[in-house]
Structure 1
Amino acid sequence: MATATDILTLTQWFSPAYPVGAFAYSHGLEWAIDAGEVATAAQTHAWIEDVLRHGAGWNDGLFLAAAYHAEQDGLAEIDATSRAFAASSERLKETRLQGAAFCDVTAKVWATDLAQLTYPVAVGRAARLEGLPLDLTTQFYLMAFVSNLAAVAMRLVPLGQTDGQRLIRDLTPLCTEIAEQTCEGSLDALTSTAFLGDIAAMKHETQYSRIFRT
């Protein structure tokens, strides 16, 4: 059972104040908005839900859990697979740079032995080393992902603050569901059919005017 310290530690790790630079990435959503694919609250909800169920949300849950269960000598293969599942150079940059930032600050603050890992693998390993509950860690990770994408939409669609918060609330049960389904961490369950999200990330690489790094 999670303790108050566990919950507060995860709150700190996934706070906007934790210096992983998540605010700088849109995961391709900026291009989708610019192209008119996402223009309403309902379309934003559908886009983020699909990415969670069928794209990076699902896979990151599996990578996080696999890293949590793995011993040190198994991390390199998990991390290499995580990199291979990044469908574009910007998506690779997103997970690589956030992971490096997470490893750097977490190692310094918690004296934790973390290498340069992709973001979900780094979080899974850190949670294992700190004895944090896997299911709760995954829920926090996915909620932070949803919140970041909702913040992108609030700025660019634009969505109002109320609609943005309603969207986060409505997607919370899905974060819990994915956390429960991925807790065994079997990479045999890796899949990705969020094709438009992948294409959006590729298109973003050559987008003329943009705010976000991905």
Structure 2
Amino acid sequence: MTTDFLTLAQLLSPSFPVGAFAYSNGLETAIADGMICTAADLENWLTALLTHGSARADAVLLNVAYTADADDLAMIDATARAFAASSERLMEADLQGAAFCDTITAVWDIPLAHLTYPVAVGSTARAMSLDLELTTAMYLQSIVANLSAAAMRLVPLGQTDGQRVQTALKPLCQTVASDLIGATLDYLHSSAFMSDIVSMRHETQYSRVFRT
């Protein structure tokens, strides 16, 4: 388990070259529109993503990719692309996934096709025999950390408040990861509609710091 943790800490680190710092998942528009002004607002927003939105959907795709046969990966990846709620969400999953796959192949010599990010992480975790529940929990925590960092820059939110939000959401990341063991594509849904709408609106936002 210790080795799994250290490997996942590397794969999901901000230093891993997927460019996660450049994406806000629509959070930039939500902040610009005054929907997120405090640490409590951010925590509520991220809670919705983890329980009903894109973060949970990503975790489902990661789990399904982990347990799938190699022949099914293309179908799972196509499902991930079709499920993206906006062109920017698709771009985010596609470009981060491509960068992740390229790095995994170059460093670990694990051949990966051009997969979306959650599918690539699940497939890699299986190839490395990493613990699935731990992989999912740390993947979700990395989403929380990245979006918290975006909010620190844009709200602006203090670093201490950003860390409080991440600390508060750690148990939820673990709970979602535990609940999704054995997940199938039937688990895939999203009802965090405001998050999807601001992601769509970010495509035409005049002044932007983040790509999504």
Q: Which residue number in structure 2 is paired with residue 122 of structure 1?
A: 120
- Equivalent residue of 1:115, what SS? coil
Give the Cα separation in 2 of the matches to 1:79 and 1:183. Answer: 19
1:28-107 correspondence to structure 2 within 5 Å: 28-107=26-105
2-structure distance, mates of 1:58, 1:96 = 18
Structure 2 counterpart of 1:205, from 198, 203, 206: 203
Question: What RMSD over aligned residues (CA atoms) do the two structures have, in Å?
Answer: 0.7
Match of 1:21 in 2: 19
Structure 1 runs, 4 residues or longer, greater than 4 Å off: none
Secondary structure (helix, strand or coil) at the match of 2:194 reads helix
Q: Deviations over 1:116-161 (max 9, x none)?
A: 0000000000000010000011111000000000001111111111
Paired letter, 1:189: Y
SS in 2 for 1:125: helix
Counterparts of 2:181 and 2:110 in 1: how far apart (Å)?
23
- Matched positions, count: 212
Which runs of 5 or more structure 2 residues have no equivalent in the other structure?
none
- Deviation track 1:91-138 (CA, whole Å, cap 9, x = no partner) reads 000011110010000111111021100000000000000100000111
Give the distance between the partners of 1:25 and 1:194, measured in 2 at CA: 18
1:133-172 map, 5 Å: 133-172=131-170
* Distance in 2 separating the partners of 1:181 and 1:113: 30
Paired position in structure 1 for 2:172: 174
CA distance in structure 1 between the aligned counterparts of 2:181 and 2:201, rounded to whole angstroms: 33
Partner Cα distance (1:71, 1:53) in 2: 27
User: Structure 1: which amino acid aligns with 2:45?
Assistant: W
TM-score of the aligned structures, taking structure 2 as reference length: 0.98
CA deviation string 1:33-58 (max 9, x = no partner): 00111111111111111011111111
Q: 2: CA distance between counterparts of 1:212 and 1:54?
A: 23
Alignment equivalent of 1:113, drawn from 107, 111, 114: 111
In 2, Cα distance between the equivalents of 1:184 and 1:49? 22
- What displacement does 1:185 show? 2.4
